[in-house]
Amino acid sequence: MSPLDIQSACTLNDGNRIPYLGLGVYASSTCTKACLTSFDEGYRHIDTAELYGNEAEVGVITFIQLPALLLDNCLPRSSIFVTSKVWDNKHTRQETLKAVSESLNCMQLEQIDLYLIHNPRSGPTGRHQAWLGLQDALREKKVKSIGVSNFTPAHIQNLMKSDGVTVKPAVNQIEFHPWNQQKTIVEYCKKEGIAMQAYSPLARGQRLGENSVISEVAKKHGKTPAQVLLRWILQHGVIAIPKSEDPGRIRENAAIYDFQLDDEDLSEIAKLDAGQDGNVGDWNPWEHE
């Protein structure tokens, strides 16, 4: 991978580009403030979802009120990458397409950069129908790219064999951090040209202060444990979307481009993998057929 900075982006298999660092806004009580702070720190990528209940805040504050809020430093819509997702209670072709339209209306956007199936829980038929709906949204130019979340290789392989499926997912968003490295999924998606995106990249902070390996690497580079984790993710070619509402943490999470983990660091961190036993979220992709 070439040298990175906060403007670095990954080219997706459809030719579109997504910034490697984004702001997650799941359960964000101060979504507006967090988005504006992130833009001030150089972020250009916001990850939301229908389920999060803050699409309107992301859209209205980001793209309508932004010029008035930032005055001479306003950002054009084309410079901001927005991801949203359809929940599993809308996995029919018609309902998924309708969900995309509802997200567009909610965010008052003409087009969403990336739209994902939020999880695979609806089963083969539901996943197939939802994907057909996303293909329709792509064809109608309601979205630029489409992808999935929490999908295993089998989920993707079965989807691609289904009737009417002509578009490969551009992105697979999964929990990914040193304690759950999802090697099988990551290796498969990289082989297939599907970009990987990490949610809960900081393991929700549950292990940051207690792990001696991460602490030693952080001390070695004069960085925080959180910065080490995010740098580790980027050096694996994976997109990271850490959530934070604290301006200091948002700033800290962006300060990861002036150092690089060496082979020794990467080797030691690789030993932390506990597979699904290292999961900090509610999703185990392998539990859903």
Catalytic residues: 52
Percent helix, strand and coil across the chain, each to the nearest 5 = 45, 15, 40
DSSP result, 103-157: HHHHHT-S-EEEEEE--STTHHHHHHHHHHHHHHHHHTTSEEEEEEES--HHHHH
The CB density around residue 56, as the number of other CB atoms within 10 Å, is 15
* CA-wise closest residue to 237 among 286, 193, 269, 179: 193
Residue carrying structure tokens 């490295």: 181
118 belongs to an annotated ligand binding site? yes
For residue 171, the surrounding DSSP H or E stretch is strand 171-175
Rounded Cα distance, 226 and 233, in Å: 11
For residue 105 the two structure tokens come to 């209306």
Sequence ranges of the binding site for substrate: 118
Sequence ranges of the binding site: 118
